[in-house]
Chain A
Amino acid sequence: MPLMPYQLEKGPIWSVVESALGAGPQEAYDLLELLRDKKHQISDGPLVKSKTLDYTDPKTGAKVTAQTRGDHLNQDWFGMVKQPSGTWAKEPDSAFDPQTHPSTGFWINYWGDVEEIVRETFVRAIEVSLGLHHGQTHPSRGRFRRHWPVSIFLKCPTPWFEGWVTWNAHAGEVVVHFLVPGNYGSQVLKQPKTGLTGVPGVNPDTADATYGMWLVTHEQHNRVDGVVTTDPGTAGVIHAPSAGAILKDSGDLIVLAPVETDGGVAPNGRAFVP
Protein backbone atom coordinates (compact mmCIF):
# COMPACT_ATOMS: atom_id res chain seq x y z
CA MET A 1 0.00 0.00 0.00
CA PRO A 2 1.30 3.49 -0.69
CA LEU A 3 1.91 5.89 2.16
CA MET A 4 -1.75 6.92 2.21
CA PRO A 5 -1.85 10.15 4.19
CA TYR A 6 -5.63 10.39 3.80
CA GLN A 7 -8.46 8.11 4.84
CA LEU A 8 -9.63 7.21 1.33
CA GLU A 9 -7.45 6.27 -1.58
CA LYS A 10 -7.32 5.00 -5.09
CA GLY A 11 -3.74 5.80 -5.99
CA PRO A 12 -1.54 4.00 -8.51
CA ILE A 13 -2.43 0.44 -7.54
CA TRP A 14 -6.18 0.64 -7.77
CA SER A 15 -5.89 2.81 -10.87
CA VAL A 16 -3.97 0.00 -12.55
CA VAL A 17 -6.44 -2.63 -11.40
CA GLU A 18 -9.30 -0.52 -12.76
CA SER A 19 -7.42 -0.22 -16.04
CA ALA A 20 -6.92 -3.97 -16.25
CA LEU A 21 -10.58 -4.70 -15.48
CA GLY A 22 -11.59 -2.15 -18.09
CA ALA A 23 -9.30 -3.38 -20.87
CA GLY A 24 -12.04 -5.51 -22.32
CA PRO A 25 -14.62 -8.12 -21.32
CA GLN A 26 -12.39 -11.03 -22.29
CA GLU A 27 -9.49 -9.60 -20.30
CA ALA A 28 -11.77 -9.13 -17.28
CA TYR A 29 -13.10 -12.66 -17.69
CA ASP A 30 -9.58 -14.08 -17.85
CA LEU A 31 -8.84 -12.39 -14.52
CA LEU A 32 -12.09 -13.77 -13.14
CA GLU A 33 -11.10 -17.29 -14.07
CA LEU A 34 -7.74 -16.84 -12.39
CA LEU A 35 -9.34 -15.53 -9.21
CA ARG A 36 -11.94 -18.30 -9.11
CA ASP A 37 -9.10 -20.80 -8.85
CA LYS A 38 -8.29 -20.78 -5.14
CA LYS A 39 -4.98 -22.47 -5.78
CA HIS A 40 -3.95 -19.37 -7.68
CA GLN A 41 -2.19 -16.90 -5.41
CA ILE A 42 -3.19 -13.35 -6.21
CA SER A 43 0.40 -12.21 -6.00
CA ASP A 44 1.25 -14.55 -8.88
CA GLY A 45 -1.30 -12.88 -11.14
CA PRO A 46 -0.66 -10.30 -13.80
CA LEU A 47 -1.83 -7.19 -11.94
CA VAL A 48 1.12 -6.84 -9.57
CA LYS A 49 3.43 -7.18 -12.57
CA SER A 50 2.16 -4.05 -14.32
CA LYS A 51 5.18 -2.08 -15.46
CA THR A 52 3.39 1.15 -14.66
CA LEU A 53 3.79 0.36 -10.97
CA ASP A 54 7.57 0.09 -11.13
CA TYR A 55 9.44 3.00 -9.60
CA THR A 56 12.50 3.97 -7.64
CA ASP A 57 11.98 5.76 -4.35
CA PRO A 58 13.71 9.12 -4.86
CA LYS A 59 14.73 9.37 -1.21
CA THR A 60 15.92 5.87 -0.45
CA GLY A 61 16.77 4.64 -3.92
CA ALA A 62 14.83 1.47 -3.24
CA LYS A 63 13.36 -0.11 -6.35
CA VAL A 64 9.76 -1.23 -6.30
CA THR A 65 9.35 -4.12 -8.70
CA ALA A 66 6.90 -6.90 -9.44
CA GLN A 67 8.88 -9.01 -6.98
CA THR A 68 8.73 -6.51 -4.11
CA ARG A 69 5.05 -5.82 -4.77
CA GLY A 70 4.26 -9.53 -4.69
CA ASP A 71 6.21 -9.98 -1.48
CA HIS A 72 4.47 -6.97 0.07
CA LEU A 73 1.08 -8.32 -0.90
CA ASN A 74 1.82 -11.76 0.50
CA GLN A 75 3.50 -10.67 3.70
CA ASP A 76 1.79 -7.43 4.68
CA TRP A 77 -1.68 -7.82 3.21
CA PHE A 78 -2.29 -11.54 3.37
CA GLY A 79 -0.09 -12.42 6.35
CA MET A 80 1.78 -15.14 4.50
CA VAL A 81 5.15 -16.50 5.51
CA LYS A 82 7.84 -17.39 3.01
CA GLN A 83 8.64 -21.07 3.18
CA PRO A 84 12.16 -22.53 2.86
CA SER A 85 11.12 -23.65 -0.63
CA GLY A 86 10.51 -20.03 -1.60
CA THR A 87 6.74 -20.34 -1.80
CA TRP A 88 4.36 -18.33 0.39
CA ALA A 89 1.85 -19.89 2.78
CA LYS A 90 -0.80 -18.41 5.04
CA GLU A 91 -0.31 -18.71 8.76
CA PRO A 92 -2.64 -21.13 10.54
CA ASP A 93 -5.18 -19.84 13.02
CA SER A 94 -3.06 -21.39 15.76
CA ALA A 95 -0.43 -18.69 15.12
CA PHE A 96 -2.82 -16.04 16.42
CA ASP A 97 -1.93 -14.69 19.85
CA PRO A 98 -3.64 -11.56 21.23
CA GLN A 99 -0.47 -10.48 23.00
CA THR A 100 2.37 -11.37 20.68
CA HIS A 101 0.83 -11.95 17.24
CA PRO A 102 -2.58 -10.28 16.92
CA SER A 103 -2.39 -9.39 13.24
CA THR A 104 -2.69 -10.90 9.82
CA GLY A 105 0.09 -9.15 7.94
CA PHE A 106 0.43 -5.54 8.94
CA TRP A 107 -3.21 -4.91 9.89
CA ILE A 108 -3.31 -3.61 13.42
CA ASN A 109 -5.19 -5.93 15.78
CA TYR A 110 -7.01 -7.76 13.02
CA TRP A 111 -6.79 -11.43 12.13
CA GLY A 112 -8.62 -12.84 9.14
CA ASP A 113 -8.26 -14.36 5.69
CA VAL A 114 -7.60 -11.16 3.77
CA GLU A 115 -6.60 -12.91 0.57
CA GLU A 116 -9.96 -14.67 0.38
CA ILE A 117 -11.81 -11.43 1.09
CA VAL A 118 -9.91 -9.69 -1.69
CA ARG A 119 -10.39 -12.66 -4.03
CA GLU A 120 -14.14 -12.99 -3.44
CA THR A 121 -14.67 -9.22 -3.68
CA PHE A 122 -13.06 -9.11 -7.12
CA VAL A 123 -14.78 -12.30 -8.25
CA ARG A 124 -18.13 -10.76 -7.38
CA ALA A 125 -17.22 -7.39 -8.88
CA ILE A 126 -16.16 -8.88 -12.22
CA GLU A 127 -19.24 -11.08 -12.34
CA VAL A 128 -21.41 -8.00 -11.79
CA SER A 129 -19.43 -6.06 -14.37
CA LEU A 130 -19.92 -8.79 -16.99
CA GLY A 131 -23.48 -9.62 -15.99
CA LEU A 132 -22.64 -13.18 -15.01
CA HIS A 133 -24.34 -15.19 -12.29
CA HIS A 134 -22.03 -16.20 -9.47
CA GLY A 135 -19.88 -19.04 -10.74
CA GLN A 136 -21.29 -18.85 -14.26
CA THR A 137 -18.82 -19.60 -17.03
CA HIS A 138 -18.75 -17.81 -20.33
CA PRO A 139 -18.61 -19.74 -23.59
CA SER A 140 -15.50 -19.10 -25.58
CA ARG A 141 -16.06 -16.74 -28.48
CA GLY A 142 -19.51 -15.87 -27.09
CA ARG A 143 -20.69 -12.30 -26.75
CA PHE A 144 -20.52 -10.85 -23.28
CA ARG A 145 -23.78 -9.53 -21.91
CA ARG A 146 -22.13 -6.29 -20.77
CA HIS A 147 -18.90 -4.82 -19.51
CA TRP A 148 -19.41 -2.17 -16.85
CA PRO A 149 -16.39 -0.19 -15.65
CA VAL A 150 -15.21 -0.96 -12.13
CA SER A 151 -14.02 1.73 -9.73
CA ILE A 152 -12.06 0.75 -6.62
CA PHE A 153 -11.50 2.66 -3.40
CA LEU A 154 -9.81 1.82 -0.14
CA LYS A 155 -10.95 3.33 3.16
CA CYS A 156 -8.71 3.17 6.22
CA PRO A 157 -9.11 2.59 9.13
CA THR A 158 -11.97 0.33 10.11
CA PRO A 159 -11.94 -2.34 12.85
CA TRP A 160 -11.80 -5.26 10.44
CA PHE A 161 -11.11 -5.94 6.76
CA GLU A 162 -14.05 -6.16 4.39
CA GLY A 163 -14.91 -5.68 0.73
CA TRP A 164 -18.03 -4.10 -0.73
CA VAL A 165 -19.33 -4.53 -4.24
CA THR A 166 -21.87 -1.90 -5.29
CA TRP A 167 -23.37 -1.11 -8.66
CA ASN A 168 -25.75 1.19 -10.45
CA ALA A 169 -27.41 -0.27 -13.52
CA HIS A 170 -28.63 3.14 -14.66
CA ALA A 171 -25.08 4.43 -14.92
CA GLY A 172 -23.70 1.03 -15.80
CA GLU A 173 -20.89 0.97 -13.27
CA VAL A 174 -19.52 -1.11 -10.42
CA VAL A 175 -17.84 0.45 -7.40
CA VAL A 176 -15.71 -1.64 -5.06
CA HIS A 177 -14.77 -0.47 -1.58
CA PHE A 178 -12.19 -2.07 0.62
CA LEU A 179 -12.56 -1.10 4.25
CA VAL A 180 -9.37 -1.97 6.05
CA PRO A 181 -7.83 -1.65 9.51
CA GLY A 182 -4.92 0.68 10.10
CA ASN A 183 -1.55 -0.80 9.33
CA TYR A 184 1.52 -0.59 11.51
CA GLY A 185 3.22 2.77 11.11
CA SER A 186 0.34 4.34 9.20
CA GLN A 187 -0.21 8.03 9.72
CA VAL A 188 -2.93 10.36 8.57
CA LEU A 189 -2.62 14.07 7.93
CA LYS A 190 -4.18 16.53 10.35
CA GLN A 191 -3.40 19.27 7.82
CA PRO A 192 -4.69 17.72 4.59
CA LYS A 193 -3.64 20.63 2.42
CA THR A 194 0.05 19.86 2.88
CA GLY A 195 -0.04 16.43 1.22
CA LEU A 196 2.79 13.98 1.69
CA THR A 197 4.40 13.12 -1.63
CA GLY A 198 2.89 16.12 -3.39
CA VAL A 199 0.73 19.14 -2.73
CA PRO A 200 -2.90 18.47 -3.61
CA GLY A 201 -4.89 20.65 -5.92
CA VAL A 202 -6.88 23.13 -3.86
CA ASN A 203 -10.46 24.10 -4.60
CA PRO A 204 -10.55 22.68 -8.15
CA ASP A 205 -13.31 24.23 -10.23
CA THR A 206 -13.52 21.95 -13.24
CA ALA A 207 -14.17 18.26 -13.67
CA ASP A 208 -12.82 17.99 -17.18
CA ALA A 209 -10.32 15.23 -16.40
CA THR A 210 -11.16 11.61 -17.09
CA TYR A 211 -10.72 10.72 -13.43
CA GLY A 212 -11.29 12.75 -10.31
CA MET A 213 -11.20 12.31 -6.58
CA TRP A 214 -11.94 15.25 -4.36
CA LEU A 215 -11.83 15.55 -0.61
CA VAL A 216 -14.09 18.06 1.14
CA THR A 217 -12.81 18.92 4.57
CA HIS A 218 -11.60 21.56 6.95
CA GLU A 219 -8.06 22.86 6.67
CA GLN A 220 -7.01 21.64 10.09
CA HIS A 221 -8.05 18.75 12.31
CA ASN A 222 -7.17 19.38 15.94
CA ARG A 223 -7.01 16.83 18.69
CA VAL A 224 -8.48 18.32 21.84
CA ASP A 225 -7.47 17.11 25.26
CA GLY A 226 -10.42 15.64 27.07
CA VAL A 227 -11.09 15.32 30.77
CA VAL A 228 -8.15 14.48 33.03
CA THR A 229 -9.56 11.39 34.65
CA THR A 230 -7.14 11.45 37.55
CA ASP A 231 -8.13 14.93 38.71
CA PRO A 232 -9.49 14.50 42.22
CA GLY A 233 -13.21 14.49 42.81
CA THR A 234 -15.55 14.13 45.71
CA ALA A 235 -17.23 10.84 46.53
CA GLY A 236 -19.09 9.36 43.59
CA VAL A 237 -18.03 12.07 41.11
CA ILE A 238 -15.88 10.06 38.72
CA HIS A 239 -14.32 11.71 35.67
CA ALA A 240 -14.82 9.33 32.79
CA PRO A 241 -13.01 9.88 29.49
CA SER A 242 -14.55 9.79 26.04
CA ALA A 243 -13.91 6.76 23.86
CA GLY A 244 -10.90 7.88 21.85
CA ALA A 245 -9.65 11.25 20.75
CA ILE A 246 -11.88 14.29 20.44
CA LEU A 247 -11.34 16.14 17.15
CA LYS A 248 -12.20 19.75 16.53
CA ASP A 249 -11.86 21.05 12.99
CA SER A 250 -10.80 24.59 12.22
CA GLY A 251 -9.84 26.75 9.26
CA ASP A 252 -11.58 27.16 5.94
CA LEU A 253 -13.62 24.45 4.32
CA ILE A 254 -11.56 23.29 1.37
CA VAL A 255 -11.87 20.93 -1.57
CA LEU A 256 -8.68 19.03 -2.31
CA ALA A 257 -7.57 16.82 -5.17
CA PRO A 258 -4.82 14.67 -3.62
CA VAL A 259 -1.99 13.64 -5.91
CA GLU A 260 -2.07 10.06 -7.13
CA THR A 261 0.83 8.96 -4.96
CA ASP A 262 -1.07 10.19 -1.91
CA GLY A 263 -4.04 8.04 -2.85
CA GLY A 264 -5.73 10.38 -5.34
CA VAL A 265 -6.01 9.82 -9.08
CA ALA A 266 -4.08 11.04 -12.07
CA PRO A 267 -6.28 13.04 -14.47
CA ASN A 268 -5.93 10.34 -17.13
CA GLY A 269 -5.65 7.38 -14.76
CA ARG A 270 -2.83 4.86 -14.88
CA ALA A 271 -2.82 2.10 -17.44
CA PHE A 272 -2.26 -1.56 -16.76
CA VAL A 273 0.77 -2.59 -18.78
CA PRO A 274 1.68 -6.26 -18.57
Chain B
Amino acid sequence: MTVEGAIDLVRDDVIRGLSPAFEPFSDEDGDGFEVAKDFRDIEVVSNDQIASVVWTYRCRHVDWFTNAPPSGAALTIRGTTTVDTRPDDPLYHRYIDWLAVYTALGYTLYQRQMVDVPDREIINSGRPEERLEG
Protein backbone atom coordinates (compact mmCIF):
# COMPACT_ATOMS: atom_id res chain seq x y z
CA MET B 1 0.00 0.00 0.00
CA THR B 2 1.39 3.40 -0.93
CA VAL B 3 1.15 6.41 1.29
CA GLU B 4 -1.15 8.13 -1.14
CA GLY B 5 -3.16 4.97 -1.40
CA ALA B 6 -3.72 4.95 2.38
CA ILE B 7 -4.86 8.55 2.45
CA ASP B 8 -7.19 7.95 -0.47
CA LEU B 9 -8.71 4.90 1.23
CA VAL B 10 -9.33 6.78 4.47
CA ARG B 11 -10.67 9.85 2.66
CA ASP B 12 -13.11 7.63 0.79
CA ASP B 13 -14.19 5.95 4.01
CA VAL B 14 -14.76 9.21 5.85
CA ILE B 15 -16.64 10.85 2.99
CA ARG B 16 -18.82 7.83 2.35
CA GLY B 17 -19.47 7.22 6.01
CA LEU B 18 -20.08 10.74 7.23
CA SER B 19 -21.24 12.86 4.31
CA PRO B 20 -24.90 11.73 4.36
CA ALA B 21 -25.23 13.58 7.69
CA PHE B 22 -22.20 15.85 7.47
CA GLU B 23 -21.59 17.36 4.04
CA PRO B 24 -18.05 18.61 3.34
CA PHE B 25 -17.65 22.28 4.10
CA SER B 26 -14.91 24.84 3.62
CA ASP B 27 -14.08 27.92 5.63
CA GLU B 28 -11.12 29.38 7.48
CA ASP B 29 -11.14 26.41 9.87
CA GLY B 30 -10.77 23.70 7.26
CA ASP B 31 -11.59 22.29 3.86
CA GLY B 32 -13.54 19.05 4.00
CA PHE B 33 -11.33 16.00 4.53
CA GLU B 34 -7.69 16.77 5.23
CA VAL B 35 -4.76 15.05 6.83
CA ALA B 36 -4.40 16.71 10.24
CA LYS B 37 -2.12 19.70 9.94
CA ASP B 38 0.45 18.39 12.41
CA PHE B 39 1.03 15.36 10.16
CA ARG B 40 0.91 16.83 6.67
CA ASP B 41 4.64 17.22 6.33
CA ILE B 42 5.54 13.59 7.06
CA GLU B 43 4.51 10.27 5.63
CA VAL B 44 1.70 8.36 7.25
CA VAL B 45 2.62 5.50 9.57
CA SER B 46 2.39 2.43 7.38
CA ASN B 47 3.81 -0.81 6.20
CA ASP B 48 2.77 -2.88 3.26
CA GLN B 49 -0.47 -3.92 4.85
CA ILE B 50 -1.72 -1.39 7.38
CA ALA B 51 -1.54 2.37 7.69
CA SER B 52 -2.78 4.97 10.14
CA VAL B 53 -4.00 8.37 9.00
CA VAL B 54 -4.71 11.25 11.37
CA TRP B 55 -7.39 13.39 9.79
CA THR B 56 -9.84 16.24 10.19
CA TYR B 57 -13.13 16.65 8.40
CA ARG B 58 -14.63 20.12 8.18
CA CYS B 59 -18.32 19.72 7.53
CA ARG B 60 -21.84 20.95 8.02
CA HIS B 61 -24.51 18.93 9.82
CA VAL B 62 -27.26 18.57 7.21
CA ASP B 63 -29.20 15.41 8.07
CA TRP B 64 -30.05 13.10 10.95
CA PHE B 65 -27.04 11.63 12.71
CA THR B 66 -28.10 8.83 15.07
CA ASN B 67 -30.72 10.66 17.17
CA ALA B 68 -29.53 14.19 16.38
CA PRO B 69 -31.72 16.09 13.89
CA PRO B 70 -29.94 18.32 11.36
CA SER B 71 -28.68 21.43 13.08
CA GLY B 72 -26.89 23.22 10.26
CA ALA B 73 -23.87 23.53 12.54
CA ALA B 74 -20.42 23.78 10.97
CA LEU B 75 -17.97 21.61 12.83
CA THR B 76 -14.71 19.76 12.54
CA ILE B 77 -14.70 16.03 13.16
CA ARG B 78 -11.32 14.70 14.22
CA GLY B 79 -10.11 11.14 14.07
CA THR B 80 -7.45 8.60 13.34
CA THR B 81 -8.14 5.66 11.09
CA THR B 82 -6.04 2.54 10.79
CA VAL B 83 -6.80 0.77 7.54
CA ASP B 84 -6.00 -2.91 7.27
CA THR B 85 -5.63 -4.11 3.68
CA ARG B 86 -4.95 -7.74 4.48
CA PRO B 87 -8.57 -8.79 3.85
CA ASP B 88 -9.90 -8.58 0.31
CA ASP B 89 -12.10 -5.71 1.45
CA PRO B 90 -9.99 -3.35 3.60
CA LEU B 91 -11.11 -2.97 7.19
CA TYR B 92 -11.16 0.40 8.92
CA HIS B 93 -10.49 0.88 12.63
CA ARG B 94 -11.67 4.38 13.42
CA TYR B 95 -10.85 6.41 16.54
CA ILE B 96 -13.06 9.46 16.29
CA ASP B 97 -13.61 12.20 18.87
CA TRP B 98 -17.34 11.56 19.10
CA LEU B 99 -17.70 13.49 22.35
CA ALA B 100 -16.61 16.65 20.57
CA VAL B 101 -19.03 15.87 17.73
CA TYR B 102 -22.01 15.63 20.06
CA THR B 103 -20.92 18.73 21.95
CA ALA B 104 -20.77 20.64 18.67
CA LEU B 105 -24.29 19.44 17.89
CA GLY B 106 -25.57 20.89 21.16
CA TYR B 107 -25.63 17.87 23.43
CA THR B 108 -24.30 17.69 26.95
CA LEU B 109 -23.33 14.73 29.03
CA TYR B 110 -25.54 13.77 31.94
CA GLN B 111 -23.41 15.54 34.53
CA ARG B 112 -23.96 13.19 37.43
CA GLN B 113 -22.34 9.86 38.06
CA MET B 114 -24.86 7.00 38.12
CA VAL B 115 -23.82 4.52 40.79
CA ASP B 116 -25.17 1.49 42.59
CA VAL B 117 -23.85 2.69 45.93
CA PRO B 118 -22.98 6.37 46.40
CA ASP B 119 -19.68 7.21 48.04
CA ARG B 120 -20.05 10.01 50.58
CA GLU B 121 -16.38 10.86 50.41
CA ILE B 122 -16.59 11.40 46.67
CA ILE B 123 -19.80 13.39 47.00
CA ASN B 124 -18.10 15.69 49.48
CA SER B 125 -14.83 15.85 47.58
CA GLY B 126 -15.36 19.34 46.15
CA ARG B 127 -14.16 20.88 42.95
CA PRO B 128 -11.30 19.32 40.94
CA GLU B 129 -9.05 22.31 41.49
CA GLU B 130 -9.54 22.02 45.24
CA ARG B 131 -8.56 18.36 45.15
CA LEU B 132 -5.45 19.23 43.15
CA GLU B 133 -4.55 21.86 45.69
CA GLY B 134 -4.81 19.03 48.15
20 contacting pairs across A/B (C-beta < 8 A): A3-B118, A108-B111, A157-B111, A186-B113, A186-B123, A187-B112, A187-B113, A187-B115, A189-B115, A189-B116, A196-B118, A229-B94, A238-B18, A240-B65, A241-B66, A243-B105, A244-B102, A244-B107, A245-B110, A247-B114
CB distance from A266 to the nearest CB of B (A): 21
Q: Given A182-B112, A232-B92, A236-B13, 11 other A-B contacts at CB below 8 A?
A: A157-B110, A157-B111, A187-B118, A189-B115, A233-B91, A233-B94, A234-B92, A238-B96, A240-B66, A243-B105, A244-B110
Residue numbers in B under 8 Å from A235 (CB-CB): 9, 12-13, 16-17, 89-90, 92
Please classify the interface of chain B as helix (H, G, I), strand (E, B), loop, or mixed, using the class held by over half of its residues.
Answer: mixed
- Is B120 an interface residue when CB atoms closer than 8 A count as contact? yes
How far apart sit A238 and B119, CA to CA, in the bound complex (Å)? 38
Residue numbers in B under 8 Å from A221 (CB-CB): 114
Interface string of B6-25 (1 = CB under 8 A from A): 00010011101110000000
Residue numbers in B under 8 Å from A194 (CB-CB): 117
Q: Please give the number of chain A residues whose Cβ is less than 8 angstroms from any Cβ of chain B in the complex.
A: 45
A244 touches B122 (CB 8 A): no
- Is A237 an interface residue when CB atoms closer than 8 A count as contact? yes
Query: When the two chains form the complex, which single residue of B17, B108, B111 contacts A238, counting CB atoms closer than 8 Å?
Result: B17
A187 and B17 in contact, given A230-B94, A234-B91, A235-B89 (Cβ under 8 angstroms): no
Query: When the two chains form the complex, which single residue of B18, B90, B109, B115 contacts A234, counting CB atoms closer than 8 Å?
Result: B90
B92 touches A242 (CB 8 A): no
Q: Please give the number of chain B residues whose Cβ is less than 8 angstroms from any Cβ of chain A in the complex.
A: 45
Residue numbers in B under 8 Å from A59 (CB-CB): 120
- Is A191 an interface residue when CB atoms closer than 8 A count as contact? yes
**B21 (CB) vs chain A CBs: closest residue:** A240
Query: When the two chains form the complex, which single residue of A5, A186, A243, A247 contacts B107, counting CB atoms closer than 8 Å?
Result: A243
Query: When the two chains form the complex, which single residue of A101, A103, A223, A241 contacts B114, counting CB atoms closer than 8 Å?
Result: A223
Interface string of A158-202 (1 = CB under 8 A from B): 010000000000000000000001101111111100101000000
Residue numbers in B under 8 Å from A191 (CB-CB): 116-117
Query: When the two chains form the complex, which single residue of A101, A156, A190, A243 contacts B66, counting CB atoms closer than 8 Å?
Result: A243
B98 touches A159 (CB 8 A): no
Query: When the two chains form the complex, which single residue of A5, A101, A182 contacts B111, counting CB atoms closer than 8 Å?
Result: A182
Interface residues of A (CB under 8 A from B): 3, 5, 7, 59, 100-101, 103, 106, 108-109, 156-157, 159, 181-182, 184-191, 194, 196, 221, 223, 229-245, 247
Interface residues of B (CB under 8 A from A): 9, 12-14, 16-18, 65-68, 84, 89-96, 98, 102, 105, 107-120, 122-129
Query: When the two chains form the complex, which single residue of B68, B84, B123 contacts A187, counting CB atoms closer than 8 Å?
Result: B123
Query: When the two chains form the complex, which single residue of B67, B124, B126 contacts A242, counting CB atoms closer than 8 Å?
Result: B67
CB distance from A189 to the nearest CB of B (A): 6
Residue numbers in B under 8 Å from A231 (CB-CB): 93
**A223 (CB) vs chain B CBs: closest residue:** B114
B110 touches A156 (CB 8 A): no
B68 touches A243 (CB 8 A): yes
How far apart sit A108 and B92, CA to CA, in the bound complex (Å)? 36
A232 touches B17 (CB 8 A): no
A230 touches B93 (CB 8 A): yes
